[in-house]
Structure 1
Amino acid sequence: MGIELELRVKRAARGKGRQRDVVILGSHEHGDALAQALDGVVRGRLARVDPYRDTRFTEQDAEAALPEVAALVRECTDPAQRAALLDLAELLRACAATPGGCLWFVGD
């Protein structure tokens, strides 16, 4: 069970008025560690992340989740999980700063 991260934005596609999601940033190397780090979170935005299905965070969700991740990083003692959480924090900040951006948690 792992969770990959993809920051996506809408871009114009061929055809009249069509749009498609484009991945502009991603994290694929911390999947299992990220799932373990988020396991047991029962409150806040991060509690919505499903390790078995895709979960989408908007810019507002990303902004709200940043303090939650910071708290998890402070409590984390496992180096691999800490690296995964720091990567998540970076992508949450990028999402919050990207108009129309959505951060996808791609579950296994």
Structure 2
Amino acid sequence: MGIELELHSGRPARGRSSPNTLLRGSYQHGEALARALSTLDRHGSGKLGWVDPYGDTLFNEQEARVALQEVTALAQRCADERQKNALLDLAELLEACAATPGSHLWFMGD
């Protein structure tokens, strides 16, 4: 199980990556990211708990802004170095998404 990330300048086509909108991808932290996010309550009030480790989840710029606060707190509590690196990479993508009007961050689960 792993989660790959892609930042797109617009909403990507459903179920496939679009090279026309792809700004940046993160593919090296999949398993560590999935493990780090699995500690969150899927039914809680946070945005990151919504990420489906087996399917696709899409955040717009407003959702990314909210999730950025969550991932920062999660990374500070994380003791596993691989998971912490995955969360820091996610934080960079969330920050870029929040700062780019019309962008979307795509979480691609296995």
TM-score (norm 2): 0.87
Asked whether the equivalents of residues 10 and 104 of structure 2 are also in contact (C-alpha less than 8 Å), the reply is no
- Once the two structures are TM-superposed, the CA of residue 10 in structure 1 deviates from its matched residue by 3.1
1:29 paired residue number = 28
Please state how far the C-alpha of 1:22 moved relative to its aligned partner.
1.6
Alpha-carbon distance, 1:81 to partner: 0.1
Matched pairs, number: 100
RMSD over equivalenced CA pairs, Å = 1.4
Deviating 4+ runs (over 3 angstroms): none
2:68 paired residue among 66, 70, 81: 66
SS at match of 1:10: coil
Name which of 85, 88, 95 aligns with 2:87. 85
Q: Deviations over 1:43-85 (max 9, x none)?
A: 3000100000000000000000111001111100000000000
- Structure 2: which 5+ residue stretches go unaligned? 12-17
Q: Looking at CA atoms only, which structure, 1 or 2, has the larger radius of gyration?
A: 1
Normalization by structure 1: what TM-score? 0.88
